[in-house]
Structure 1
Amino acid sequence: MIVVTGATGNVGRALVDRLLAAGQPVRALTRDPERAELPARAEVVPFRPEEPDALFAGATKFFLYAQAGTAPLLAAARAQGVRHVVLLSSGIIQEGADETHPIHVMHATAERQIRDSGLAGTFLRPNAFATNALQWAPQIRAGDTVRGVFADGLSAPIHEDDIAAVAERVLLDDGHEGAAYRLTGPAATSNADQVAAIGAALGRKLTFVETDPADAGPELFPHVPPQMLERLLRTFAETVGTPPEITGTVEQLTGAPARPFDRWARDHAGDFRA
């Protein structure tokens, strides 16, 4: 049995689908099972961290995202027989990183808790997610202009199913315990080019209009906690004129190359339609 937290999230849902297709029993943890709409073959269980012992009976492996990680949860997993945990961490964890950055603190804490838990751990460290482009969906549904910061900011966004494909291999194959894998998409693309690719997938011409970061607020970043927004904007500013890290890890571990952003845009075209 493999336990998957965040089973209704972008990566977690893709991983559940992959593990079931591979014939693996999956226990999908979600805070709202009634609305999860997960495959019938998955064992869907309410995620109640305050009752962790009920989550892991019969399980040997565990996929975890950092926001869900706590030392008591990991201790309960180990006590119930889990031996290997795969963490969806972050590419911000690297040599020379700003260790005070809130995203670094969250993921570094989760990694440290796993190392201290006695469980074998594997850390997946993706950089930019292609799904971050969903922040523009309301504007694209409403018209052909997208307001955003740093039109020329560069990243190599990774398709969520490529992260799930790596997680599948790490969970099912031997030899990944103790490893940390840096994951990216295959090519650099700017924010403006991402908007153009979404437009092409929709058969429309979309225009990116750059907004002064000083004027960016909750309307552009509704899911970012206010206390994190200023630091996040500084991080985005650093991507202008800076080529992003690009790794071949997805292909090395799965045998298939990472998918480019325009493929992601085609796969998600429906998310941008009114």
Structure 2
Amino acid sequence: MIEMIIEQRRRSLGGGLEVGRVLPFAKRRMVGPFIFFDHMGPLDVAAGVERGLDVRPHPHIGLSTVTYLFSGEVMHRDSLGSEQAIRPHEVNWMTAGRGITHSERFEKARAFGDRLHGIQAWVALPTGDEEASPSFSHHEGYDLPSWNSGGVQGQLIAGQAYGLRAAARTHSPLFYAHLDLDAGGQAEVPTDHSERALYIAAGSVEVDGVRYEAGRMLVLGSGTSSFRALERSTVMVLGGEPVGERYLSWNFVSSSKERLAQAAADWKAGRLKLPDADHDEFIPLPSEL
């Protein structure tokens, strides 16, 4: 059963980079601990593109960012000293905790041209971990279990699902997977968690005899939920257990509005360390905060 259909809303991040914003949505702020879900691209970038395409250093608290690419390359640098390129079918998992800053640069695209396409999700941390020490990990290969059966190629990005476990450390029960389906391929969304959804990144699928096109997130009710690809399709499945009410302001997530205000004040006052390898510029605090 489908509880809600959320259509992506196109948003410009500047420099020609456009995303499809799915979460948060006015009538559905979260799915399990997932509080933010952006579909980036697809965007063809010509060599020599200006640096305005890059995402300059900026801060986070109270969440983990999960970056996953279908195509392209992004260079991550953060205030812990991490410097890691992410490529298709890899995962950059950054836990902000009490505070971290990072940048995302499209250096390969600038040098050679590229096709940028991927998803960035944010996972809200449970209350006891909101002020944890920040951390960063990169995952590829056997860290991300994969399978191929019945016209479905799958890769587990995080958590546990389909009898598999991904390597990234999560702070609450969740699952997140990438499925590529041939036309006619059929898959199920795991039923182990109370909140679940699927997002159609490309193609179209059928659920309970109804066709749904790309750019839509289907928030699912209880019970078994299967879907069938009507053409070659890419679908992200995700879910988990709620972590409680969370407030979101700019790049900050917290169970406390006061903590959001403190994070904003810290960034405005320059109290948050910039990445060692990328400290010459940053994104200012939006004026409306």
TM-score (normalised: structure 2): 0.24
Which of the two has greater helix per residue? 1
TM-score (normalised: structure 1): 0.25
Which of the two has greater strand per residue? 2
